[in-house]
């Protein structure tokens, strides 16, 4: 996994850097440059085991380096999750048989970012590497199901709303998921820690705006296994690949004394 991720990051870096030279040469950037800048941004994350949102504040150290503060909120999937339709109600929403909890991970972190290739042309690409580390908190919400039990004496079905258990598979059948909001009064919290390593490819045409594609890995561990599924195969440690789209802005634009004509053009 680490070998494949290394090859993937090398490929991305070569692809974007090469593309920068091929497609952006000769198109000069006449904007006033903001070398000493702080940044705010948000990102949509697509992970190998889920998805989520991320917020970031980057505080300048010098022209190439920044201290970054991240806050990620992600939905975590178990690798054994397989959705299936209800046998009792074809119109009901599909569900994952054996799933006990929905897991949301909250990850505040601090780290460093270094610009390793700066764009000098309009439409160019800036390449940055970064890392963040910090605590991780998994928030587990129990899942409730609408379950039908057959009553032999009356030859009818009785419907109950309950959590997943072996009793469901032995005596009843799942009709569908109950309301998502049921179970919020039974939240479970499991602490842990994480480290994130990534490359950022920033391609905005405006120096005060951030558009970037990030890719990298996240290593995350908890004090105990996360009981997402009703199985012994739950995980305590996770190695996650991620890709994200990041949108943001420079928050100290006074570094540019006046607006340039090139900004009016774009």
Within a domain: 120: yes
Within a domain: 154: no
CATH number at residue 32: 2.40.160.20
* pLDDT, position 147: 83
Q: Indicate the number of domains in the chain.
A: 1
CB 230 within 8 A of CB 98: yes
Q: Across-strand partners of 170?
A: none
When computed from its CA atoms, the radius of gyration of the chain, rounded to whole angstroms, is: 24
Within a domain: 194: yes
Question: How are beta strands 144-151 and 101-117 bridged, if at all?
Answer: unpaired
Q: How far is CA 134 from CA 116, 191, 193, 219, 220, in A?
A: 24, 11, 6, 11, 10
Within a domain: 176: no
> Average pLDDT for consecutive 10-residue bins of the chain (266 residues)?
50 48 45 68 95 96 93 93 73 79 96 90 85 98 86 79 73 77 94 97 88 96 95 91 95 55 40
Within a domain: 158: no
CB 147 within 8 A of CB 174: yes
* pLDDT, position 266: 36
The owner of tokens 């609408």 is: 146
Angle made by CA atoms 13, 216, 83, in degrees to the nearest 5: 130
Within a domain: 147: no
Q: Taking the model in full, what pTM does it have?
A: 0.76
The owner of tokens 């996360």 is: 226
CB 260 within 8 A of CB 32: yes
Per-residue exposure over 102-129, b if at least 16 CB sit within 10 Å of its own CB, e if not: bbbbebbbebebebebebeebebbbbbb
For 213, the domain range is 2-81+93-141+181-265
Q: What are phi and psi of 12, to 5 degrees?
A: -60, -45
Within a domain: 173: no
**Which tokens sit at 14?**
């070569």
Within a domain: 159: no
**Which tokens sit at 256?**
């540019």
For residues 53 and 220, give the distance between their C-alpha atoms in angstroms, rounded to a whole number.
17
For residues 8 and 4, give the distance between their C-alpha atoms in angstroms, rounded to a whole number.
6
**Which tokens sit at 19?**
């593309």
């Amino acid at each position: 996994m680490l070998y494949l991720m290394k090859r993937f990051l090398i490929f991305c870096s070569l692809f974007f850097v090469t593309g920068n030279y091929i497609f952006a040469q000769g198109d000069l950037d006449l904007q006033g440059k903001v070398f000493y800048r702080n940044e705010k941004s948000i990102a949509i994350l697509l992970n190998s085991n889920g998805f989520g949102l991320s917020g970031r504040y980057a505080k300048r150290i010098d022209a190439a380096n920044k201290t970054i503060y991240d806050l990620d909120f992600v939905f975590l999937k178990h690798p054994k999750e397989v959705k299936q339709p209800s046998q009792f109600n074809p119109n009901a929403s599909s569900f994952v048989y054996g799933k006990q909890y929905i897991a949301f991970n909250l990850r505040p972190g601090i780290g460093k970012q270094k610009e390793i290739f700066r764009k000098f042309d309009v439409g160019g690409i800036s390449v940055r590497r970064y890392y963040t580390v910090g605590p991780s908190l998994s928030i587990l919400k129990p899942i409730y199901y609408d379950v039908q039990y057959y009553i032999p004496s009356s030859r009818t079905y009785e419907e109950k709303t309950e959590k997943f258990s072996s009793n469901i598979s032995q005596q009843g059948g799942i009709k569908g998921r109950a309301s998502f909001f049921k179970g919020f009064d039974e939240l479970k919290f499991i602490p842990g820690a994480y480290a994130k390593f990534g490359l950022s490819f920033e391609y905005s045409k405006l120096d005060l705006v951030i558009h970037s594609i990030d890719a990298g890995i996240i290593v995350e561990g908890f004090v105990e296994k996360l009981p997402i599924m009703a199985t012994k195969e739950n995980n305590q440690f996770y190695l996650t690949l991620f890709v994200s789209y990041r949108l943001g802005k420079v928050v100290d634009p006074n570094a540019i004394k006046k607006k340039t004509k090139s900004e009016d053009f774009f």
